[in-house]
Structure 1
Amino acid sequence: MYQVRVKFEDQIANWSAPEDYSKVAIHLAGLPNTPLPVPGITEFLTGQGYALLQPHYPGTHDSAGVFDPYATHVIVPAWMSALERGLVIDLGKSEKLEAKEDVSLLSSHSYGTYVGMRALREGAMVDKAVFFCTSFAYGKLGRQFGQIDDKSSSARYVRDAFPLTFRTERQDAIEEFYVEHSHDDLHMAPAEGVTDCFVVSPGADETSDPKVSQSGALNFLRSHAERFSVGGNLIAEGAGHAVASMLNEQVRSELAKWLNTEGVR
């Protein structure tokens, strides 16, 4: 597997690819995250034949700008377009990265599921999307997606323990996002095509109710059948919050089958 940092304008991402990949995916991490490829999902998706791009969100790690938890979704169509147009630079080789295919899969975890779904709701199009620890909204709206605490301690931890990693314009931005609201009414912008979705919930995550998480995500997807179909859903029994924990044998098997079945466009 080939791993390198890549660059688009002043933004940085990790690029992990098998030598002979046939598909391209983007994975959106939760908070906090590391600047390295996410364990578990990287090995799984590259093993399924995907080249995988994992962005450093604006204003985090090595990407320039300010981290605004409400606006991170704009990077999804930006990176998709940059890959498709050949504008991404492979920093290992100091040359343009020639992606063999357009982005066909969006993978996301926790906070990343908000980012990914927001991008899709704003019109980004991919064949398939998988959501781990679904939170399509936070604050009061987040309860319908299984949140069972107010996230205040988690938000303060991200703010206080990683002040240079998550560089916000306002000190209270992350806590406001998680605890009060994500400034979003889950609106749906017009777009053409249907994205096939798979929802995975952890069975032993103290911060969420897996049954409510599943029902909330599935109800939302099914209420927008013009944009989404449901290709599968699982509760990863005994799994904690991390993606690697959720990728147990059953989840890997079912996801592999789904990834190798054509979705609906």
Structure 2
Amino acid sequence: MAFVKFKDICGDLFIPAPHKNNKAAILWLPGLPNKPSVEDMGQPLADLGFTILQLRYPGNWESKGTFGPSTSLEGAIQGLELLASGESCDQLEKKDVQWNIDRIFIAGNSYGGAIALSALANTSLAEGAVCFCPLLEPHLQNVHKNEEDLHSLYSFITKEHSADYRGFNEQEWGSFMDGNHQANPSQYIEQLKDEPILFIHGASDTSILPHHTIDFFHKLTEAGSCAAELKIVEGKGHGNGLRKATTEIWTEWLFNNHGIIKEQPFE
């Protein structure tokens, strides 16, 4: 693992051993509030041959700048640019690091799922996305008072995590939650309809109900998408339990649909 910086972002970079390298990279975008490093989205995936960048959004943890949906989107694109460059400097060891990839995917959880799809729509650097319980329709969140009111995330984060989310703006968060923001995926149906996307949502999720993901998936298919897939997972809720329970599903989706060669035992 290396700790790398690029423009306004930084993150943990996991580089597979050369004999395991499948030449595919994954940019990991977390939900809110997040931890700086996520165990299941790091070394286990590098052991499968993936190069992994666990992004800190701008203004989040060690990254510079201010935090918000706009800078999160900008930071995601910067993360893709960093992965595409193939080189950086390990800030801890003070030495150059290189990696060898020929394709990049984005994986996002909850809020990170919204940022992942918005980034996918705004750059050609990524070949597809895996979205876990994504926040796709914030303007329809909790309309019937039967799921989490994510408007309250602003108050919670600024009260409990202000040091880790610097410059968080209430007006911008309100625009994002009202669906009037460049980081809202719903405005990018045309741009996303031909992109390979795997949606995974837990049937027991009460933070973001699965019908939002189902509705978004149907919008893509109605627009002509043949590349999007949807998995609703019974008995799973929101967050890392869903990811861990479906690792084989979404890694197989990458291997089977995108020509990624599984790492072979070293000989």
Per-residue CA shift, 1:186-236, capped at 9, x if unaligned? Answer: 3339879943111110222222222x133123123324547x712x32222
Q: TM-score, normalised by structure 1?
A: 0.81
Following TM superposition, by how much is the alpha carbon of 1:28 offset from its aligned partner in structure 2, in angstroms? 0.4
Corresponding residue number in structure 1 for 2:121: 121
CA distance in 2, matches of 1:204, 1:192: 27
Q: Is the 8 A contact 1:6 1:14 kept in 2?
A: yes
Structure-2 change in CA distance of 1:181 and 1:262 (3 Å)? closer
Following TM superposition, by how much is the alpha carbon of 1:90 offset from its aligned partner in structure 2, in angstroms? 1.8
Following TM superposition, by how much is the alpha carbon of 1:178 offset from its aligned partner in structure 2, in angstroms? 5.8
Gaps of 5+ in 2: 260-267
Q: Is the 8 A contact 1:76 1:124 kept in 2?
A: no
Gaps of 5+ in 1: none
Aligned residues: 252
Corresponding residue number in structure 2 for 1:9: 7
Following TM superposition, by how much is the alpha carbon of 1:49 offset from its aligned partner in structure 2, in angstroms? 1.5
Are positions 1:241 and 2:238 aligned together?
Answer: yes
Q: Could you say which structure has the higher helix fraction?
A: 2
Following TM superposition, by how much is the alpha carbon of 1:73 offset from its aligned partner in structure 2, in angstroms? 1.1
CA distance in 1, matches of 2:193, 2:147: 34
Structure-2 change in CA distance of 1:92 and 1:225 (3 Å)? farther
**Residue range with higher mean Cα deviation, 9-18 or 127-136:** 9-18
Following TM superposition, by how much is the alpha carbon of 1:182 offset from its aligned partner in structure 2, in angstroms? 4.7
Corresponding residue number in structure 2 for 1:221: 220
Corresponding residue number in structure 2 for 1:33: 34
Following TM superposition, by how much is the alpha carbon of 1:12 offset from its aligned partner in structure 2, in angstroms? 1.1
RMSD value over aligned CA atoms?
2.9
Alignment of 1:40-119 (within 5 A): 40-86=40-86, 88-119=88-119
Following TM superposition, by how much is the alpha carbon of 1:241 offset from its aligned partner in structure 2, in angstroms? 1.4
Q: 1:258 aligns with which of 233, 243, 253?
A: 253
CA distance in 2, matches of 1:233, 1:44: 24
Q: Is the 8 A contact 2:27 2:53 kept in 1?
A: yes
Q: Is the 8 A contact 1:16 1:53 kept in 2?
A: yes
CA distance in 2, matches of 1:83, 1:263: 18
Seq. identity, %: 20
Following TM superposition, by how much is the alpha carbon of 1:259 offset from its aligned partner in structure 2, in angstroms? 1.5
CA distance in 1, matches of 2:88, 2:164: 23
CA distance in 2, matches of 1:187, 1:174: 17
**Residue range with higher mean Cα deviation, 120-129 or 182-191:** 182-191
Structure-2 change in CA distance of 1:203 and 1:169 (3 Å)? closer
Following TM superposition, by how much is the alpha carbon of 1:179 offset from its aligned partner in structure 2, in angstroms? 4.3
Structure-2 change in CA distance of 1:27 and 1:120 (3 Å)? same
Structure-2 change in CA distance of 1:121 and 1:237 (3 Å)? same
Q: What one-letter code is carried by the residue in structure 2 that aligns with 1:12?
A: C
Q: Is the 8 A contact 2:84 2:125 kept in 1?
A: no
Structure-2 change in CA distance of 1:112 and 1:120 (3 Å)? same
